[in-house]
Chain A
Amino acid sequence: MSAVPRDPAALPRLGWTLAALVLLWPLLRLADFEPVRLLDEGNLRAMGHFIRGFLPMETSHDFMALLGKAMVETLAMATAGIALSLLLAVPLGLAMTRGLSVSRIGPGRRAWIGTLVRALVRALLAVLRGVPELVWALLFVRVFGLGASAGVLALGITYGGMLGKVYGEILESTDGRTARGLLEAGSGRVAALFYGLLPHAGGELVSYTVYRWECAVRASVVMGFVGAGGLGQLMDQSMKMLNGGEAASILLTFLLLVLAADGLSEFLRRRLA
């Protein structure tokens, strides 16, 4: 028996691993990484004291009324924000997907146009989500004034950038053979999406969208900036004041909403399956 050739992937693999380890060290130093600090007695006491402050939870009538109002507002803003972001994300995400690119299997001489368009869309999405929410919020304050409108729009735009990118990547990571088969049989890209990619990726897309909605519910920063209120702002404030009882009540609300979102996601995915 002749000698078995050595694994050709082994050497590069070793090289990358070593390179990663060498890079990790300065990063750990930069981030001040000292896990022993977590065991420091004074720190443990401070944290214990703070966590004990979570009980009893704040349940006064005033606060509950405030919480209820904030919750309704938050749900409305999150839903509206996600709806707006979908308007951006769906077309851009599709444009970004290589698996749906006709030109990649199609006439090669035009392939560079497709590549260029995808790169441009990628860059556009990066700018949409890369410009901080606060900057968008300040921009929209100039148009709408203070209030929910500016916040929801800022949210819609940044989340549009995020969803678009993630949609594109999900569609690319799924088994593309079906869609490719359809494109090869002359189908258009939208039809190939619905018949070839969504059956594989539908669950994943739904699950990510619901997760984003859940993030929108928690989104404190933008909403508070422009005076849109909501749960996030309430939370920020209780936390800055280190008011444990209020924080605990809001956290419980968050947890309930997250559980609800999780259930919704599971329900939708099951329906799709």
Chain B
Amino acid sequence: MRAGISPAGVFGLVLLAAAAAGSFAFLEMPLGALFTGSAAREAVAFVGRFIPPETDPAFLAKVGWAALETLAISLLSTLLAVLGGVTLALPAAGRQGPLARQAARFVLNLLRSVPELVWATLMVLAAGLGPFAGTLALALHTTGVLGRLFAEALENTPRAPAQAVTGLGAGPLAAFLYAVLPLVAPQWLAYALYRWEMNIRMAAILGFVGAGGLGALLYYSLSLFHEAEASTVILAMLAMAIAVDGASAWLRQRMAG
């Protein structure tokens, strides 16, 4: 009689738990401090400084403009990344043979392992200071991320529909469009919209390349302890993120019908 989960599986789980416990021990984290009275007082005092948000019209106009710029940069970079990600995800999911799979995976890993900041520096040199460099930097890193997520979603998708269509003699691209895309589309859409939301927040990087946007504004106000202003910026970012989140939920619900 075979057990439900293999000994190797149990061993793996134990190993993961041990890694987590070991990490906490190594870092000597006094998590208890979180539940002391002074922690609560400090937290309340900190949050109190953010209220009420700054509503000076001139500042609001600045935030509005920065929000538009952020929207443009994040949306364009995500669109570019979706195109790049899909192109690389198809071979990376092993649909064009093992060699193409390894090659595509390596490219994705490389794109992803180079942090946004490094891409930003490279792109500033390549395209000059400004929003365009920020867009490219985010697009490159995001391509690596989306490519990997797309590829793994593909690999986790049932194969029968695609096999049925290739069984009709269809080419790989046609089989993908007719039998795989309808299955992975909700997941891909979720990942793409989610990455868009992340890119809205890529704060420090965009400021670093002089692209402005909400991120730079936030970093600036926090550095100067202008918490009321920071609070307005955070609210603007939150509003955008929640809008994207809601759009994601709505779109996918519509797809599921």
Contact status A79-B23, CB under 8 Å: yes
Give the one of A31, A138, A201, A242 with max B CB within 10 A. Answer: A31
Interface class of chain B by DSSP: helix
Chain B, 137-160, CB within 8 A of any chain A CB: 145, 148-149, 152-153, 155-156, 158
Residue of A28, A77, A232, A268 near B115 (CB, 8 A) is A232
* CB pairs A–B below 8 angstroms (23 shown): A30-B68, A31-B76, A31-B132, A37-B132, A38-B127, A50-B122, A80-B24, A80-B29, A130-B238, A132-B237, A134-B219, A135-B222, A135-B230, A144-B30, A148-B27, A203-B156, A204-B152, A204-B156, A211-B148, A211-B149, A251-B113, A251-B114, A255-B110
Chain B contact residues, CB within 8 Å of chain A: 6, 8-9, 12, 19-20, 22-24, 26-27, 29-31, 33-34, 38-39, 42-43, 45-47, 68-69, 71-73, 75-76, 105, 109-110, 112-115, 117-118, 121-122, 125-128, 130-132, 134-136, 145, 148-149, 152-153, 155-156, 158, 186-187, 190-191, 194, 198, 201, 203-204, 218-219, 222, 230, 234, 237-238, 241-242, 245, 248-249, 252-253, 256
Q: List residues of chain A with CB within 8 A of the CB of B47.
A: 139
Q: Mark A244-273, 1 if CB is under 8 A from B, else 0.
A: 000100010011011100100100110100
Give the one of B71, B125, B194, B248 with max A CB within 10 A. Answer: B125
Asked if A220 is at the interface (CB within 8 A of a chain B CB), the reply is yes
How many angstroms between the C-alpha atoms of A20 and B245 in the bound complex?
Answer: 19
Known A-B contacts A122-B245, A144-B33, A271-B9; the reply to A149 vs B27 at CB < 8 A is yes
Contact status A37-B23, CB under 8 Å: no
Can you add 14 more A-B contacts, CB < 8 Å, to A79-B23, A152-B27, A255-B109?
A37-B127, A43-B127, A79-B19, A122-B249, A129-B241, A130-B241, A132-B218, A134-B203, A142-B39, A142-B43, A165-B194, A175-B158, A201-B156, A271-B12
Contact status B132-A143, CB under 8 Å: no
How many angstroms between the C-alpha atoms of A152 and B27 in the bound complex?
Answer: 9
Of A59-67, A166-174, A185-193, which binds chain B? A166-174
Q: List residues of chain A with CB within 8 A of the CB of B27.
A: 76-77, 80, 148-149, 152
Q: How far is the CB of B18 from chain A (nearest CB, A)?
A: 10
Q: List residues of chain B with CB within 8 A of the CB of A122.
A: 245, 249
Q: How many residues of A contact B (CB 8 A)?
A: 80
Contact status B69-A127, CB under 8 Å: no
Interface class of chain A by DSSP: helix
Contact status B249-A143, CB under 8 Å: no
Q: List residues of chain A with CB within 8 A of the CB of B31.
A: 149
Q: How far is the CB of B213 from chain A (nearest CB, A)?
A: 10
Q: List residues of chain A with CB within 8 A of the CB of B105.
A: 262
Contact status A28-B76, CB under 8 Å: yes
Give the one of B69, B156, B190, B201 with max A CB within 10 A. Answer: B156
Asked if A113 is at the interface (CB within 8 A of a chain B CB), the reply is no
Contact status B109-A152, CB under 8 Å: no
* A255 (CB) vs chain B CBs: closest residue: B113
How many angstroms between the C-alpha atoms of A207 and B27 in the bound complex?
Answer: 26
Q: How far is the CB of A250 from chain B (nearest CB, A)?
A: 9
Chain A, 200-236, CB within 8 A of any chain B CB: 201, 203-204, 207-208, 211, 214, 218, 220-221, 232, 235-236
* A98 (CB) vs chain B CBs: closest residue: B253
